[in-house]
Amino acid sequence: MQVVYKSEGQIEAIRVSSLLVGDTLAEVASRIKPGMRTIDLDRVAETFIRDHQAEPAFKGYHGFPASLCISVNAEVVHGIPGNRELKDGDVVSIDCGVNKGGFFGDSAYSFVIGEVPAKTIELLRVTKRCLMQGVSKAVEGMRIGDISEAVQDLAESHGFGVVRELVGHGVGLKLHEKPEVPNFGKKGTGLLMKKGLVIAIEPMINAGKKQVKQLNDGWTIVTSDGLPSAHFEHTVAIGVGKPDVLSSFDKIEIAEANNINLGKPHQITEVNG
């Protein structure tokens, strides 16, 4: 598969889908509470997406059975919603994709329920900042490796592990396209980014070791040491002079702030060092 560059009209259609992902995650964020089953959050998302004349992009993708990937604590990504009840102290990473009119958006956000250790709050703040550092490099004339190094350097400077086996990707006309966008690498390497390229940048950062393993369900990826992981993702169009972020966390953060069951790590976005 070759890299597909999008027209301005296509990018605007991808923006619509990407913003719907953010709206969906905000709707889910407003409902999260201890005792709620992850399958019930998934149903909220699917109903919301379909009510907005779109399709859940994940449901049925290579056989995935749900509309959301909901990964809790040591689960990194691809957690399957089920009867698990969320509880105080959980880290909950939620990944969502939609297909609206043949155009795909993809975004992810991590939450904490109630009180969690300071190190876990730091993990979420740093991972979110890793995303924004990576996004800042999504500019015409730079290379994929510039994104990769920006994410890796920040995460590792705080002692966190950067997952190698899972990467960001092109997105827009399909859910997953070329190129791959690793969260580790060297600046000045990889594909030269040009206007019209749309990518999903998605740091997956572990509190401990970088190593992961897959569970027997064939989907869920967990940390090898059982420590928590965090995941944030934006869909981004390569811009001239600055990136064009097509997805948004704005409504998610409002929902997070208004939900008394959620911790508020987003309110301090900068991390010393």
pLDDT per residue as tens digits for the range 175-217: 999 999 999 999 999 999 999 999 999 999 999 999 999 999 9
In the predicted structure, residue 268 carries a pLDDT above the cut 50: no
What domains, with CATH codes, occur in the chain? 8-267 (3.90.230.10)
Burial pattern 175-214, b for ≥16 Cβ within 10 A else e, equals bbbebbbbbbbebeebbebebbbbbbbbbbbbbbebebee
In the predicted structure, residue 247 carries a pLDDT above the cut 80: yes
Q: Which letter does DSSP use for residue 93 in this model?
A: E
Mean pLDDT of 236-252: 97
Position 229 confidence tier, pLDDT thresholds 50, 70, 90? very high
Tokens 């979420």 found at: 124
Where do runs of H (alpha helix) occur along 72-157? 118-135, 144-157
Mean pLDDT of 127-139: 98
**pLDDT tens per residue across span 10-51:** 999 999 999 999 999 999 999 999 999 999 999 999 999 999
In the predicted structure, residue 270 carries a pLDDT above the cut 70: no
Position 264 confidence tier, pLDDT thresholds 50, 70, 90? confident
Task: Identify the CA nearest to 149 among candidates 17, 159, 136.
Answer: 136
Provide the whole-model pTM: 0.95
| pLDDT reported for residue 160 | 98
